[in-house]
Structure 1
Amino acid sequence: MYPIKAAAELAGLSTETLRAWERRHGAIRPVRDAQGRRLYDPATIERLSRLHRLTDRGHPIRDLAALDDEALDRLLDDGRQAAYGGVETLPSRMLDAIADYRVDVFDRDLSVAIATLPMTVLLTRVVMPLLREVGLRWADGRLAVAQERLVSSLLRMRLLAVLSPPPREQRPRVLFATLPGERHELGLIAAALQAQDAGMPVLYLGTELPADEIARVADKLDAAGVALSSMDPEQARPALAELRQLDRVLAPAVPVWLGGANARYLAEELASTRIQAVTDVQAIARGRVTPAGRG
């Protein structure tokens, strides 16, 4: 049995909201101890958690309060089906909107997807298919350069907003950036979002940063690691020189992870014990990708 403060924290509510749901709407019925204090069992806390998730989706508490737990579960499942049901066709619909320069429709659909979908679903079933479809439509002439730029800028704006660092984050962060000459960043943003979703403290620095600058920031912030993306084949050779410089000036304990089309080539050419090509960003967060000789 839990007192009201602990019950509210476990359910993700304020104590004021919990009391209102109990007194005004009769959504739960706690027991009381000998001193008259409210106590909540695990089943009641789970019910509060269901109610919290449903009210977050827009269901009024007055409509939910009288429903039993089975009915609440059905509503939650219906919501999941609705949220995922149109995902497969969403990228095409969004690009159809861009083709007609209906930027508001594209932005609305993107904002709803970001707000309602888990990050893995958002990236694998919306963002990445959207980028692939942009490439196809650009290649066959169905998408103009201006429309392709619109998609990129809107995606960048909305996804970077999700990456805003928490104001009181104290843990050492992983720095995400690209090297000079590498302007492609949507893949880097997606990797940073995956890392953040996996619980990794992230700081997104952006594109085209010299090795010396990356090392300076890493030293100032006592960074946990550096994650770099290299996509452009023409930038592979210049990236080698920058990475060799980064290996020289970066503090010895800081690992470097490479992603993107050039990553494997760069890692093999460098043959550094701490610079690795990775394909699974979440594996870094789980501590399963580490430079040789590190735990």
Structure 2
Amino acid sequence: MSEQQPSDASSTDQAPTWTIADVERDTGIGKDTLRVWERRYGFPRPGRDAHGDRCYDTAQVQRLRLIRRLLDLGHRPGRVVGLPLTALQDLAARGPRVAPSTAPTPPHAQATVLAQWLGWLEADQGERVQQALRASLQQHGLAQTVQTLVAPMCVAVGEAWAQGRLGVYQEHLWTEVVQRTLREAIAALDAAPGTPKQAPRVLLTTTPGEPHLLGLLMAECFLALQGCERVVLGAQTPLIDIVTAARRLAVDVVGLSYSAYVGRRDLVDELVQLRTRLPDNVALWVGGAGAQRHGRALPPGVDVVAQAGDVARRVHAWRARHRAA
């Protein structure tokens, strides 16, 4: 996707400026939010064009792009909007900020939100769930939303289905809402100017018999936040094709997700085959309930990612090792 270009909002000979609509499209920050920040934090500081409408210079737009990225990494607007560019860049280099003290939904509030979302699913109101999910992404960022809402909601939906509260079609409705919304968020991150892709290059898939993709998608969110290159193959890729793709696409990591339904013997057998066939310099990361359940049985050279949020720590450790090498 090409970078959004500013409008020539002024009739003078000054450099082109950005309208508020331009800024909204480029950064994903809503017009109302921009106006609130202007009053509350003193930034952005728009000028006015010949018609009296707000206009922004390119430096402010670049700073807003970085602010949006920090919000996706879990920072609060009040802590970042007023910071100078150098401070914003330093924060962005540190990666996600996910700490209990800054979680947007403490346990009691989280339970209330999840109950409300489940109620909407029971009432076949998937569009309300999607609107709420998008609002959380806008307010709290991608990292916090995935860890404190999406991941526990996946568990809650599974439990509600097992209890007979939700039908299969309602579970599928939730899956579709999450996939569509998180892919939109990932695409926005990838399209943001000034965020070049970095190593490690990660191949994401599941093995035959494992159709569940939400865990892999949540992991991809954190890889995108870290600026990692990703090669997404979808579900149920044959083992030999995983190995072939890893070699031909020169990936650094193969990432797999296993749901709770996987058997111990099948899991171990697949991972032994993959670890044996993959190049030694290709890391093998596995996540999901199945991987955690059978973690002690896994062969050497296989790293368990306990939850999606741990992906960032794995990436930092991988980069540290390769810088030192």
TM-score range, shorter-chain basis? 0.5 to 0.7
d(CA) in 2 for partners of 1:289, 1:170:
10
State the one-letter code of the partner of 1:250: L
Tell me the equivalent position of 2:88. none
1:238 to 261, 266, 269: 266
Tell me the equivalent position of 1:103. 126
Change in 2 beyond 3 A, CA 1:247/1:98? same
3-state DSSP class of the match of 2:227?
Answer: coil
* Structure 1 segment 1-295 matched on structure 2, within 5 A: 56-59=29-32, 77=78, 84=104, 88=110, 89-164=112-187, 166=190, 169=197, 173-264=201-292, 268-272=296-300, 274-279=301-306, 280-287=310-317
Tell me the equivalent position of 1:4. none
Change in 2 beyond 3 A, CA 1:107/1:211? same
3-state DSSP class of the match of 1:141?
Answer: coil
d(CA) in 1 for partners of 2:206, 2:28:
41
State the one-letter code of the partner of 1:56: I
Which piece of structure 1 moves more, 240-249 or 108-117?
108-117
d(CA) in 1 for partners of 2:305, 2:35:
49
d(CA) in 2 for partners of 1:61, 1:161:
21
Change in 2 beyond 3 A, CA 1:198/1:148? same
- Please tell me whether the aligned partners of residues 268 and 299 of structure 2 are also in contact (alpha carbons under 8 angstroms): no
- Please tell me whether the aligned partners of residues 199 and 228 of structure 2 are also in contact (alpha carbons under 8 angstroms): no
- Please tell me whether the aligned partners of residues 177 and 229 of structure 1 are also in contact (alpha carbons under 8 angstroms): yes
Shift of 1:149: 1.9
Shift of 1:174: 0.5
- Please tell me whether the aligned partners of residues 160 and 166 of structure 2 are also in contact (alpha carbons under 8 angstroms): yes
Aligned identity (percent) is 23
Shift of 1:169: 4.8
Shift of 1:289: 9.0
The C-alpha deviation readout for 1:34-72, integer Å capped at 9, x for no partner, is: xxx99xxxxxxxxxxxx999993313978987x585597
TM-score normalized by the length of structure 1: 0.67
Shift of 1:250: 1.3
- Please tell me whether the aligned partners of residues 55 and 61 of structure 1 are also in contact (alpha carbons under 8 angstroms): no
State the one-letter code of the partner of 1:123: V
| RMSD over equivalenced CA pairs, Å | 4.2
State the one-letter code of the partner of 1:58: K
d(CA) in 2 for partners of 1:139, 1:256:
32
Shift of 1:226: 0.7
d(CA) in 2 for partners of 1:16, 1:103:
37
d(CA) in 1 for partners of 2:236, 2:201:
19
The C-alpha deviation readout for 1:66-117, integer Å capped at 9, x for no partner, is: x5855979xx549x9xxx5897343322222221112322222223333443
Change in 2 beyond 3 A, CA 1:14/1:151? closer
- Please tell me whether the aligned partners of residues 228 and 259 of structure 1 are also in contact (alpha carbons under 8 angstroms): yes
d(CA) in 2 for partners of 1:95, 1:267:
31
d(CA) in 2 for partners of 1:216, 1:54:
38
3-state DSSP class of the match of 2:233?
Answer: strand
3-state DSSP class of the match of 1:179?
Answer: coil
State the one-letter code of the partner of 1:157: R
Tell me the equivalent position of 1:33. none
Structure 2: gaps of 5 or more residues: 16-22, 46-76, 82-103
Number of matched residues?
248
State the one-letter code of the partner of 1:285: V
State the one-letter code of the partner of 2:120: A
Shift of 1:254: 0.5
d(CA) in 2 for partners of 1:228, 1:205:
11
Tell me the equivalent position of 1:31. none
